Amino acid sequence: MDESPVTSDSEAKMLGQQSFARFLEALRHVTRFMTGPLMEHPLDAAVQRIETNPAFAQHRLLTRLLAALPTQQGAFRTEEVSVFDRETLAVILSLIHTHDAGTSPPADWQRAIDRAHSAQLAFNA
């Protein structure tokens, strides 16, 4: 699980990666027609998904996304948008709205990130 930051736009392009802002824009594009209510506790929903199967590719990617949202930084490959299934996209949409609205304090985000990383580490141990 390589989470090293990409240092330049040209290096990111060589690796097929894009900035977090572009990845977030792609996620918003994919979810633009999703209807229904947003989740009330998307941080918990995201972590529960990750903890149930930390080896699952979309859950590893969800862990990276969860960690990138508060800082708005990270490098993602363009193709990674297509990894998510509809249920996980619903969680992501709620996470994005929760972040944008500022309704979850930074401590809650950090706890969720720590739990997600712990699940990943326990699997890799």
pTM of the model: 0.84
Q: What is the pLDDT at residue 10?
A: 56
User: Which two tokens mark 3?
Assistant: 């989470």
> Quick one: pLDDT at residue 78?
79
DSSP annotation of 65 reads H
State mean pLDDT over 11-34: 82
Q: Counting Cβ atoms within 10 Å, is residue 27 exposed (0-12), middle (13-18) or buried (19+)?
A: buried
16 is written with which tokens? 């097929």
Question: Above 50 in pLDDT, residue 2?
Answer: no
Q: What is the pLDDT of residues 73-120, one digit of tens each?
A: 998 987 899 999 999 999 999 999 999 999 999 999 999 999 999 999
> Mind listing the pLDDT tens digit for each residue in 34-83?
988 899 999 999 999 999 999 999 999 999 999 999 999 998 987 899 99
Residue 102, Ramachandran bin (φ over 0: left; ψ between -120 and 50: alpha; else beta): left
Token pair for 56: 């699952």
